[in-house]
Amino acid sequence: MKYNILATGSKGNAVIINDYILIDCGVPFRLIEPYYSKFKIVLLTHIHGDHFCHSTIKKLARERPTLRFACGRWLLQPLLECGVAKHNIDVLEFDTMYGYGLFNLIPVYLKHNVPNCGYKIHFANEGKLFYATDCNNLNGIIAKGYDLYMVEANYVDEEIQEKIKQKHADGAFAYEQQVIKNHLSKDKCDDWLYKNMNSRSQYIYLHCHYDDEQQQNQGAEFSP
């Protein structure tokens, strides 16, 4: 399975799968410009600007007037306001499989501070992909033996609790408390991966947070 992580994190998110699927579109158009001519579909997760860049989607709609977009119903109106034709928008329901020829798609519910979803993508020949970012947990989601997992690992529980404790001691605002509510820790991510992956599966941590704002895109084989 081919993938290209153009950006992941609070400054923007955009991942290209097998050249023709764009997952999330929260980056300037210049970043996707070298690739967008091959896109067949854009899968969107939620409205936050680092996942849904209005100006980029507007330009995509102009440059590729027949390009398909798939999303939850909460993004229908924002897409229409960006100039995407209604007949090019597939409104998806959770836990329902949709066939697109080269792949099947299943959206899954993710708990966040706005409506959000992740995706199970089953390819005809390249295996299965699970994608999830911006969520408090993955409770109730089962994706056994997938070939590739792209999952948020935003912070380490012990480290972030220590930061909160120190900021409270200093009388400072601890924004990390909101992070805990709205993002997935590496600890929860790893626990979920252990329950779902097999010896051939691979994983990539997405949406990792660093104080210096650096972003990490690392993949590895994972043996449960």
What is the 8-class DSSP label of residue 139? T
C-alpha 166/C-alpha 163 separation (Å) is: 5
Beta bridge partners of 21: 17, 41
pLDDT beyond 50 at 221 = no
C-alpha 65/C-alpha 153 separation (Å) is: 35
For domain 3-221, the CATH superfamily is Ribonuclease Z/Hydroxyacylglutathione hydrolase-like (3.60.15.10)
Q: Helix 186-196 crosses helix 157-170 at what angle (to 10 degrees)?
A: 160
C-alpha 13/C-alpha 23 separation (Å) is: 8
Strand 219-221 vs strand 41-43: parallel, antiparallel, or unpaired? unpaired
Q: Quick one: pLDDT at residue 199?
A: 96
Q: Quick one: pLDDT at residue 157?
A: 77
Beta bridge partners of 77: none
Q: How confident is the model at residue 6 (pLDDT cuts 50, 70, 90)?
A: very high
- Tokens coding 192: 């979920």
pLDDT tens digits, 59-118: 999 999 999 999 999 999 999 999 999 999 999 999 999 999 999 999 999 999 999 999
- Tokens coding 176: 């990390």
Please answer whether residues 167 and 174 qualify as being in contact, where contact means their C-beta atoms are separated by less than 8 angstroms. Answer: yes
Q: Rg for the chain (alpha carbons), in Å?
A: 17
Q: How confident is the model at residue 169 (pLDDT cuts 50, 70, 90)?
A: confident
Average pLDDT, the chain: 91
Torsions phi, psi for 195 (to 5 deg) = -80, -15
Write the secondary structure of 1-13 as one string of H (helix), E (strand) and C (coil).
CCEEEEECCCCCC
Q: How confident is the model at residue 210 (pLDDT cuts 50, 70, 90)?
A: low
